[in-house]
Amino acid sequence: SSACRVCVVIKVLLSYPLIFFTARLAVGRALLRDDITKIQHAAPFHACTVAYFAATWLLSASMTNINTLADMTAAVSGTFQAASHHVTSHHITSHLTTHH
């Protein structure tokens, strides 16, 4: 139904920034053994999160078909999850090699 598709779109639009930021905090805190909220740890993710919001806003503003919007936002979310994982892995690896 259309109501279900709308709920999927809302979930996808919100899940990346909320869930993955929390996951990065937990994993980063355990691996870095440092205050993960320091700006040098958060900075690599600001551009990725802002780009995600911009991409999903652009999709929301330009799509008229809710089914297409749901499919496109799910694809964008998957892409940004992969990018975020790559940035997290690179940041943690570089931190561990320079500080230990």
Rg of the chain, C-alpha, whole Å = 16
Chain position carrying tokens 């205050």 = 35
Which has more pLDDT, 88 or 52?
A: 52
* Range in 18-22, 67-71, 76-80 with the lowest mean pLDDT: 18-22
For residue 70, which of 16, 21, 2 has the smallest C-alpha distance? 2
Model confidence pTM above 0.75: no
DSSP assignment of 1-23 equals: -HHHHHHHHHHHHHHIIIIIHHH
Provide the H-helix boundaries in 1-100.
Answer: 2-15, 21-32, 39-62, 66-99
Q: What was the pLDDT predicted at 44?
A: 63
